[in-house]
Amino acid sequence: MFSLFPKDGIFYQLFEKQAEKLNEAGVLLRQILEDPQKLEACSVRLKKLEEEADDLGHEVMDNLRRNFITPLEGEDIDLLRQNLDDIIDHLEKAVNRMVIYKIPQPFVQAINDYSGVIQSAIQEIYLGIKEIKNVRKYHEQLHDRCKKLNDLENAGDEINRKALNTLMNAPQVNCEKVIEIIKLKEIFETLENAIDCCEDVGNMFETILIKNQ
């Protein structure tokens, strides 16, 4: 039913639930790196998390359609929902491909490097989502998180450049090595996309800050 006024805090509650799913995804990623034998089990759980996050995203949109007045602009709510969802989508895809492609263990260093950046970015997002409901109070903290997320995206770019350079300039390339390169390149790009989406969330924080000064 259409409502002029939304339930108190419903959008913030849903965003926090999305952030909790994202935080759990970051924990699963860390578990995979600490114990690669958990890869398949974590991949199954990550797929479930991705589906749960999708459901939360749909709930955000349902509330957006039903409510005329919202705490943030409708477009900003939609973009933030989408960016949070995209991060988990990319993480689920990367881990799924690691399973399907049977990436040998221990994993190449680049995967650990990408994952470290992603886990740091997720922590900034997790805390930032809790702060956007009181922008004026947490203005400085949110501004710092925006900068950190931008810095982390830059660090991800540097990791990506080095990883691709190493991958594409491997010595003594044969057919088996070419297949390995193709597999790793897709995983690297997917992890890089996850980092880019983390910066997109930071950009949304910045937009919210500007509009609510």
CATH code at position 26:
1.20.58.220
Q: Give domain status of residue 3, yes or no.
A: no
Question: Which residues contact residue 183 at a Cβ distance below 8 angstroms, ignoring those fewer than 6 apart?
Answer: 97, 101, 103
The answer to whether residue 102 sits within a structural domain is: yes
Give the count of beta carbons closer than 10 Å to the beta carbon of residue 211: 11
pTM of model > 0.85? yes
What is the reported pLDDT for 13?
93
pLDDT of 64: 86
Residue 1 in domain: no
Q: What DSSP state is assigned to residue 36?
A: G
Give me the domain span that covers residue 61.
10-211
Domain count, the chain: 1
Query: Which pLDDT score, from 0 to 100, does residue 186 have?
Result: 97
Each of the 213 residues of the chain gets a pLDDT tens digit; together they read 333 334 448 889 999 999 999 999 999 999 999 999 999 999 999 999 999 999 999 999 998 888 766 778 888 899 999 999 999 999 999 999 999 999 998 899 999 999 999 999 999 999 999 999 888 899 999 999 999 999 999 999 999 999 999 999 988 889 998 999 999 999 999 999 999 999 999 999 999 988 887
Let me know if residue 5 belongs to a domain: no
202 domain residue, yes or no: yes
Q: Collapse the DSSP code of 152 into the 3-class scheme (helix H, G, I; strand E, B; otherwise coil) and give the result.
A: helix
Write down the pLDDT at residue 178: 93
Residue 68 confidence (pLDDT): 62
- 25 Cβ partners below 8 Å, 6+ apart? 46, 49, 50, 87, 88, 91, 92, 122
- Residue 161 CB: number of other CB atoms within 10 A? 10
